[in-house]
Amino acid sequence: MIEEILQFDTELFVYLNSLGSTNFDFFWLSLSRPEANIILYLLVLMLYISIEPNKKSFVINLLLSIIILVTISDQFSNISKDFFQRLRPCFNESLIDSIRLVKDSCGGKYGFFSAHASNSFSLAIFFGLLLFKKNKLLIFLFALYAFFISYSRIYLGVHYPIDILIGVFVGIVNGTFIYGAYLNTLNFFNK
């Protein structure tokens, strides 16, 4: 059963990766850079802080929550990669002639699960929930943005679809959990 799932995952990866075009490589490479998340969410963070009451405990709690969010997401991905040791497609010798590797380098040897997917969805869900009362549409826009970042990893040839799906799941759970912890901490300081 697991072998069939992994075979399907490989076939789906080869198909999706083959849809790429050199005309769009720059776009997908740009989305895959860490700055793609950092710049967007720094702007959102600055906007949010500017429209909320500037209590010191509020800003500190928000910044600590974001640091914890990204740290958990990133480190859990690293632990998972070391534990499962699933080769990235670009390190899989049997696939080298079947894929488009857009990046100059492949990254680390192992790819399960995608830290890009986990980090981008953690941030999307956290900020989407944070701003939900102000604009309910933002959570969907942030999730769409995170989806494009996640898909870029398949396009570039460095992650299988299952790597992405598990990263998305972990990111959604992490973003929701840290947002809940953020609210509890905020309520504690506002007593």
Spell out the domain ranges in the chain: 2-189
Whether 169 and 125 have beta carbons less than 8 Å apart is answered as: no
Give the pLDDT confidence of 54-111 residue by residue, as tens digits: 666 678 888 899 999 999 999 999 999 999 999 999 999 999 899 999 988 888 999 9
Residues 6+ apart with CB under 8 A from 144: none
At 127-147, the pLDDT tens digits run: 999 999 888 999 999 999 999
CA-CA distance, 59 to 56, in Å (whole number)? 5
Mean pLDDT, residues 110-119: 96
Write down the H helix ranges in 24-155. Answer: 25-32, 35-51, 56-84, 115-130, 138-155
Q: What is the pTM of this model?
A: 0.91
State the architecture of 2-189 in CATH terms.
Up-down Bundle (1.20)
